[in-house]
Chain A
Amino acid sequence: MNRVPSLSHHLVQMTSSRHAKKCAFLAPIQSCVTPRASIGIYEKDRRSGYKSNVKKTNKEIMKEGLGLMRGEFWKLKEEWKHNLNFDKFYPVQHGDYERLWKFDNKETIDNFTVTCDSNHHEGKSQAEFFVNEQKKGVFRGFLNTDVAKDGRVKRAGYANIKSQPNMKSFFRKHPYDWTDYTHLIFRCRGDGRPYQLILHMDRYFDVSWNDTYQYALFTRGGPYWQTAKIPFSKFFLASKGRIQDKQTPIDLDQILSLGITLGDRVKGPFQLEIDYIALLFDDHHSQQFAYEMYECNPSSLY
């Protein structure tokens, strides 16, 4: 799949949104695109048609929203307190690290969403994420590769945990800024399967809504804990699960959320214990991007 150049796409979007109300003949273009299977340029919504099954009435939404106000005002107050504090900036030094999540309490675990193919009736995998007695996060379940016979799904079998996007008060998106760091650190104990780390990007245009940076988290298996140190330079660009031809190094100030996926096409139970996820600055790591950036055939169309 080729990535469509963003400029040309931009033009398409501008014309459709500006004139959609005036020109009736442009309206049907939007409706004829099927949300899930489209490979075209146009994206209808950010979730590509995967909608939550929970339906609420307007009254319920109002009630819920008003209930959230108090907490959000508190958050706003804290933010302003922090802003007015004028914290000094210290440069990050070699070896400094910052813990993003330590999975020893339920609140951190609740910050993560568990999804698998059975949530959308596209498979039969099951997964859960909880804290065990040793105060470690456990992501476990059963990966089922059986394809449902509905004639639409081609292959099945994935389980995923994903952190909530970082939000400021009143649900304003506030992407993480990890530009000071070079590595991701995982302290985990797996079952020998390769897991996939996914960094979701916060990008504006709809061609890039599904942009993610991915790399594998290989596990050893067995009773010993392992610490995986993964450089950000090794993360490659993918969209809708496909590696893209035109790669760019990751923008570390645009990261919306982090996810861990299992989808190694092996049917069976899985278990990944995670102690913490951290960021590290390693001064000796000079690599910007692990993949070649030259164009081998600049005149070609793709």
Chain B
Amino acid sequence: MASLQLRRCLLCFSRPASPFSRAVHTSPRLLHLMDARDPNQEKKEKKLIVHHAKQYFDEMAQKARDKKTFIAAVSKYLDHENVYRRGHVEFVYASLEKMKEFNVHRDLETYKKILDLFPKEKLKPQSSWQAELMHYPKQQQCAIDLLEHMEENGVIPDDDMGYALINIFSQRSHVFRRYQRMMYWLPKFKHQNPYPVPRDLPNDNVELAKLALARMAVDLENEISVFQTDDLESAADKTFIVSAQSQTQRDLITSLPKGQSVTVEGGFITYLRYKSFIYFVLKAEKTKKAKDFENITGKRKDNASTFWNYFEDEQPSELAIRPSVHEQEDGTVLAMCITGTSSKDSLASWLKYLEVENPNLSNTPVVFLLKSPTEGKQNYAEEEDEEEEEVKRLEEARKTISDG
């Protein structure tokens, strides 16, 4: 052992600080010496997780793609590379790319686990110059991209993450500045939506449909009921129907003039965060009450909209009863629904369920005005294909040029 300690490197005449030191020469001039010591060096290099990080996640996820496997994969890398953290930047980028597949892209704990891959203390700047000139730029940019990934997915960091960032990059780093910005702005915008949606949406389709309908319904007296078409004999589609109707809407159906038809319109699209739903509306023509009201207020509106006439007395010459919220400009909304299949058959079953509480509906003719929710937007898909073909053509052309 003593002789080992005394042995100096032939080229640079340096001596390792301690015989147990893990430091090795990595200068390209000396690499051949390492090769001479270990003939399998190249093979070992290739075995490193870094070189196949994306496949590494796929291999780890042979059983299931969930949070547990993802955390296990990251921990395994950490155990393997505990000392040198070889290629941790590349590994962080690879794991960010794979997060959505494992459905952990909205999970703060997983982001913290990934941040744990950065070595502590090592990347801190030693002077204000280093701090301003972005010490360890690749690592800092990687951490900034991690924070941006969080922001894109609506994840707000917490204090622990801030302390972790201080431990890794220090308080003066560019990463920490980004964290500070996020901590200032994101909680401000978190509750700005006047039509709030829960952060984590339920997995059950019925619960989701309930949420979507409750959000769309303006009437505070709105009631949501769930039906299963298994009970109906006439229903061909065995699915669920979630229906929204208020007492006012029931009264509107009762007061429908005899012989007037109602329409089922849809499907329209509504969103709850990243989930979209197709909904249908039971509609009737505009009521007389709404028309009268519009005639009176419409006149007034024209007066008020022109700027110079606001001194005019705005007292109306006539009186009219204010219509309910359901009496919109383009018709009266009588009920809304979301069904499991969005088929015409399921809508027919919905009407049957509605007849129980709205007996007048059984005497009313119903017209189905159904269209695809993406009507007028289908051509986009075709255009997309054309674009893809064009890209392929371009690529081929490029290849032939480079080959020739």
Contacts and interface: CB of A to CB of B under 8 A. Distances in A.
Interface in A76-106: 90, 93, 96-99
B186 to A, nearest CB: 10
Given A191-B271, A218-B194, A302 B177 contact: yes
Contacts of A192: 195, 212, 215-216, 270-272
Contacts of A218: 192-195
A243 B216 contact: no
A223 B216 contact: yes
A224 B195 contact: no
B272 A96 contact: no
Residue among A97, A118, A142, A302 with max Cβ neighbours from chain B (10 Å): A142
Contacts of B192: 216, 218
Interface stretch (A40-48, A199-207, A253-261, A265-273): A265-273
Residue among A142, A222, A266 with max Cβ neighbours from chain B (10 Å): A222
B304 A97 contact: yes
Interface stretch (B107-115, B326-334, B349-357): B326-334
Contacts of A141: 377, 380
Contacts of B310: 93, 96
B203 to A, nearest CB: 18
Contacts of B380: 126, 141-142
B218 interface: yes
A287 to B, nearest CB: 14
Contacts of A97: 304-305
B328 A243 contact: no
B152 A265 contact: yes
B325 to A, nearest CB: 7
A221 B330 CA distance: 16
Interface in A156-207: 191-194
B210 to A, nearest CB: 14
Contacts, number: 100
A266 B274 contact: yes
Interface residues of A, number: 39
B307 interface: yes
A223 B281 contact: yes
Give chain A's interface secondary structure class: loop
A218 B147 CA distance: 25
A222 B328 contact: no
A124 B325 contact: no
Contacts of B325: 224
A150 to B, nearest CB: 9
A164 B271 CA distance: 30
Contacts of B330: 134
Contacts of B304: 97
Contact of A271 (B177, B269, B381, B384): B269
A118 B383 CA distance: 11
A265 B105 CA distance: 14
Interface string B200-227: 0000000000001001111000000000
B228 interface: no
A225 B328 contact: yes
A212 interface: no
Contact of B271 (A221, A223, A302): A221
Interface in A230-249: 243, 245
B268 A268 contact: no
Contacts of A221: 195, 212, 215-216, 270-271
Given A140-B377, A221-B216, A268-B276, A99 B305 contact: yes
Contact of B377 (A99, A134, A142, A245): A142
Contact of B387 (A99, A124, A224, A291): A124
A32 to B, nearest CB: 20
Nearest to A224: B218
Contacts of A99: 305
B185 interface: yes
B215 A243 contact: no
Contacts of A225: 328-329
Interface string A130-147: 000010000011101000
B259 interface: no
B124 to A, nearest CB: 18
Interface of B: 132, 152, 177, 181, 185, 188-189, 192-195, 212, 215-218, 268-274, 276, 279, 281, 283, 304-305, 307, 310-311, 325, 328-330, 333, 336, 373-374, 376-377, 380-381, 383-384, 387, 391
Given A144-B384, A192-B215, A223-B336, 5 more contacts: A98-B307, A191-B270, A192-B271, A224-B216, A225-B329
15 contacts: A118-B387, A142-B380, A142-B381, A148-B391, A191-B268, A192-B195, A218-B195, A221-B195, A223-B216, A223-B283, A224-B218, A224-B328, A266-B271, A268-B276, A301-B132
The 9 closest A-B CB pairs, nearest first, are A222-B216, A221-B270, A192-B271, A142-B380, A126-B380, A192-B270, A224-B218, A220-B195, A218-B193
